[in-house]
């Protein structure tokens, strides 16, 4: 990375430097009842029902009586994301400034954290003490809704920079104001409002991953851009194969349904509900073990900011097929949507050149691959001429500009089959 201008990299702390929220850790330390109360208050803040000032006032009043050493103990027990210190050091070695700013962490702890990570600046909320005991009162610039904007503007003035020199790394909506003013923003395991606004997204617990985003904002050379592009193309291939590998796994459903129909149906329903829940968590920066890592390996770039609907529609298409059709018909249409649709997507995505006139999202090459593979699947279940007709009809349905083809392909094909056999 060639450094052309000095930048101010602003890191939020809770959820970015720390894996969890220090505010919630304080509440857990002060008792289960307080923990439940602050969870509720945080929920109100997350849905924009209260502002940051109200959140902090309602939270810190519950911490009255905690001693300063209690706060230090909770702070020292907080786990950091991977390579936080190394990331800050790398950024500073490139000549940039690093500021750690948190509206929920006491200022004296933020000063210590900035020194610990070798950052240039550390700012937190003012927590008032009486003989080393928390009074429940708060103050300071960061206790106001526009506090982060004021802090950053002070830093810009001191360093003779502008907002065009600022990159923000954050996870929650309390950072939206500075994100909108900054040249670039990076959502790190971010909640949905930040995920929609951020220029870049990083979903991991390794802070080094933000360095690629910062490099892209630092006028990379042609060689760096070419290398990045090659990496994107390579990742796209692997990503699509992983995605369709999961999709192809649906061919096992007819086998399992033949062994125990009821268990298979209930299992599919449970997996669908669990996946939907995991997606809601992912969109708010929370990873559900096993499911979310698989999702992140398979989703396309445009799906990082929204609910990944394809697995849900695939599951619904399979469930409806099992419920509505005979065993033979259900088995065939499920295999077609699992196998043929996967082949068509891969061929169309990487080799498609001639677009279908009535659906520019599909290609003639992809549809041809679907037709051939659907015919191969059908001849194992149907007479040759019926297999040819069914594969052609299924191919037509697949080519239509229907958003949820994981549902339309099996249901449309199954209904047609029901009319001719």
Mapped onto helix, strand or coil, the DSSP state of residue 42 is helix
- Contact (Cβ atoms closer than 8 angstroms) between residue 302 and residue 210: no
Task: Compute the half-sphere exposure of residue 313: CA atoms within 13 Å on the CB side of its CA.
Answer: 15
Residue 315's H or E segment, with its range, is helix 310-324
Integer Cα distance of 35 and 33 in angstroms: 5
DSSP run (H or E) holding 51: none
Sole residue written with tokens 């065993």: 327
Cα separations in angstroms, 398 against 239, 338, 364: 22, 12, 11
Domain 8-220, CATH among 3.30.565.10, 3.40.50.1000, 1.25.40.420, 3.40.630.30: 3.40.50.1000
Q: How far apart are CA 286 and CA 281, in angstroms?
A: 5
Print pLDDT tens along the chain (421 aa).
444 589 999 999 999 999 988 988 999 888 899 999 998 998 888 888 898 999 999 999 999 999 999 999 999 999 999 999 999 999 999 999 999 999 999 999 999 999 999 999 999 999 999 999 999 999 999 989 899 999 999 999 999 999 999 999 999 999 999 999 999 999 999 988 999 999 999 988 899 999 988 887 765 544 444 444 444 444 455 666 677 777 788 899 999 999 999 999 999 999 999 989 888 888 777 766 666 666 666 666 666 777 888 889 999 999 999 999 999 999 999 999 999 998 988 888 888 889 999 888 899 999 999 999 999 999 999 999 999 999 999 999 999 998 899 999 999 999 999 888 7
Enumerate the domain spans of the chain: 8-220, 228-420
DSSP single-letter state for residue 340: I
Where does residue 114 rank: exposed (0-12), middle (13-18), buried (19+ CB within 10 A)?
buried
H/E segment holding residue 339: none
Q: Are 123 and 109 in contact (CB under 8 A)?
A: no
Q: Which residue has the tokens 């360093």?
A: 159
**Can you tell me the distance from the alpha carbon of 12 to that of 369, in angstroms, rounded to the nearest whole number?**
48
CA atoms within 13 A on the CB side of 144: 7
Task: Name residue, tokens 């001429």.
Answer: 385
Strands 359-363, 200-202: pairing kind:
unpaired
Rounded CA separation 311/9 (Å): 37
């Amino acid at each position: 990375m060639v450094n052309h201008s000095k930048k101010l990299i602003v890191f939020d702390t809770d959820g970015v430097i720390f894996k969890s929220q220090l505010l919630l850790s304080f509440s857990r330390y002060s008792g289960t009842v307080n923990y439940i109360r602050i969870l509720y208050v945080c929920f109100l803040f997350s849905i924009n029902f209260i502002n940051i000032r109200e959140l902090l006032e309602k939270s810190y009043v519950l911490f009255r009586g905690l001693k300063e050493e209690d706060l230090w103990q909770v702070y020292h027990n907080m786990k950091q994301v991977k390579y936080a210190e190394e990331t800050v050091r790398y950024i500073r070695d490139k000549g940039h400034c690093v500021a750690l700013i948190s509206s929920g962490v006491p200022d004296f702890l933020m000063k210590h954290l900035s020194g610990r990570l070798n950052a240039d600046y550390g700012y937190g909320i003012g927590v008032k003490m009486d003989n080393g005991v928390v009074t429940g009162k708060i103050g300071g610039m960061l206790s106001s809704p526009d506090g982060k904007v004021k802090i950053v503007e002070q830093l810009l003035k001191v360093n003779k920079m502008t907002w065009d020199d600022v990159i923000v790394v954050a996870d929650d909506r309390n950072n939206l104001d500075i994100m909108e003013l900054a040249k670039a923003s990076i959502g790190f395991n971010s909640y949905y409002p930040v995920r929609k606004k951020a220029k870049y997204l990083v979903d991991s617990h390794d802070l080094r991953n933000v360095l690629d985003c910062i490099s892209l904002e630092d006028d990379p050379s042609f060689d760096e851009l070419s290398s990045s592009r090659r990496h994107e193309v390579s990742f796209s291939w692997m990503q699509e194969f992983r995605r369709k590998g999961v999709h192809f796994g649906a061919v096992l459903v007819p086998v399992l349904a033949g062994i125990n129909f009821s268990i298979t149906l209930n299992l599919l329903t449970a997996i669908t509900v669990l996946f939907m829940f995991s997606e809601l968590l992912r969109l708010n920066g929370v990873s559900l073990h096993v499911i979310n890592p698989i999702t992140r390996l398979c989703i396309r770039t445009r799906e990082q900011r929204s609910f990944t609907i394809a697995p849900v529609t695939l599951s619904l298409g399979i469930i409806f097929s099992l419920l509505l059709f005979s065993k033979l018909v259900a088995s065939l249409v499920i295999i077609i949507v699992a196998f043929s649709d996967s082949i068509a997507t891969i061929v169309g995505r990487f080799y498609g050149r001639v677009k279908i006139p009535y659906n520019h999202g599909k290609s003639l090459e992809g549809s041809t691959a679907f037709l051939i593979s659907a015919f191969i699947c059908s001849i194992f279940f149907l007479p040759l001429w019926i297999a040819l007709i069914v594969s052609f009809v299924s191919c037509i349905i697949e080519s239509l500009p229907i958003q949820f083809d994981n549902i339309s392909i099996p249901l449309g094909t199954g209904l047609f089959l029901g009319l001719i056999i």
